[in-house]
Amino acid sequence: MALTDVGVRSAKPTGKLYRLFDERGMYLEVSATGGKWWRFKYRFQGKEKRLSLGVYPDIGLKDAREQRDEMRKLLAKGVDPGEHKKAKKAATLERATNSFEVVAREWFARQSPGWAQSHADKVVQRLEKDIFPWLGGRPIEEVGAPELLTVIRRIEERGAKDTAHRAMQNCGQVFRYAVATGRAERDPSADLRGALPPVRRENFASITEPAKVAELLRAIDGFRGTFVVKSALLLAPLIFVRPGELRKAQWSGFDLEKAEWRYLVTKTKTEHLVPLAVQAVEILRELHALTGHGTYVFPGRDPKKPMSEAAVNAALRRMGYDTKTEITGHGFRAMARTILHEELHFRPEVIEHQLAHKVPDSLGSAYNRTKFLKDRRVMMQRWADYLVALKAGGQVTSIDKCT
CATH number at residue 174: 1.10.150.130
Q: Report how many domains make up the chain.
A: 3
Output the pLDDT for position 194: 87
Residue-number span of the structural domain to which 10 is assigned: 5-97
Quote the CA–CA distance of 185 and 143 in Å, as a whole number: 11
CATH of the domain at 380: 1.10.443.10
Quote the CA–CA distance of 68 and 250 in Å, as a whole number. 70
pLDDT for res 363 = 44
Phi/psi at 248 (5° precision): -95, 5
| Alpha-carbon span 286 to 274, nearest angstrom | 19
Residues 106 and 229 in one domain: no
- Of 76, 97, 118, the residue at which a domain comes to its end is 97
Q: Give DSSP secondary structure letters for 345-366.
A: ---HHHHHHHTT-----TT--S
Q: Is residue 399 in some structural domain?
A: no
Residues 63 and 172 in one domain: no
User: Cis before residue 306, ω within 30 degrees of 0?
Assistant: no
Q: With residue 167 as reference, give the H or E element that holds it.
A: helix 161-180
What is the arrangement of strands in the sheet containing 260-265, beginning at the earlier edge strand? 254-255, 260-265, 270-275
SS (H, E, C) 192-218: HCCCCCCCCCCCCCCCCCHHHHHHHHH
Q: For residue 199, what pLDDT is reported?
A: 67
Last residue of a domain, one of 49, 71, 97: 97
**Does 64 reside within a domain?**
yes
How confident is the model at residue 86, as a pLDDT? 82
Pinpoint the alpha helices (H) of 10-80.
Answer: 61-76
For residues 226 and 291, is the Cβ–Cβ distance under 8 A?
A: no
Tell whether 233 and 339 lie within a shared domain.
yes
Cα–Cα distances in angstroms (integers) from residue 31 to residues 12, 18, 20, 359, in the given order:
9, 7, 11, 77
Strands 254-255 vs 47-56: parallel, antiparallel or unpaired: unpaired
Contact 384, 280 (CB under 8 A): yes
The residue from 97, 132, 161 where one domain ends is 97
Which H or E run includes 155?
Answer: helix 145-157
pLDDT (0 to 100) of residue 402: 45
Give the model's pLDDT for residue 398.
Answer: 46
CB distance 225 to 298 below 8 Å: no
Instruction: Report the distance separating Cα 383 and Cα 284, nearest Å.
Output: 17
Is residue 205 in some structural domain?
no
Same domain, 156 and 262: no
Contacts of 228 (CB under 8 A, 6+ apart): 287, 290, 291, 298, 299, 307
Q: Which sign does the torsion angle of CA 278, 280, 282, 288 carry?
A: negative
8 Å CB contact between 356 and 272: yes
Q: What is the CATH number of the domain that holds 38?
A: 3.30.160.390
β 254-255/260-265 pair status: antiparallel
Q: Are residues 104 and 144 in the same domain?
A: yes
* Successive 10-residue mean pLDDT values, the chain, 403 residues: 90 93 93 93 92 93 94 91 82 74 93 82 93 92 94 91 92 95 92 84 78 94 94 96 94 96 84 95 96 96 92 92 88 93 92 83 54 93 96 61 42
400 lies in some domain: no
Q: Which of these, 166, 163, 231, 152, lies nearest to 195 by C-alpha position?
A: 152
CB atoms within 10 A of CB 170: 21
* Catalytic residue annotation: 242, 267, 330, 333, 357, 367
pLDDT at 209 (0 to 100):
92
Q: Are residues 54 and 162 in the same domain?
A: no
pLDDT of residue 371: 80
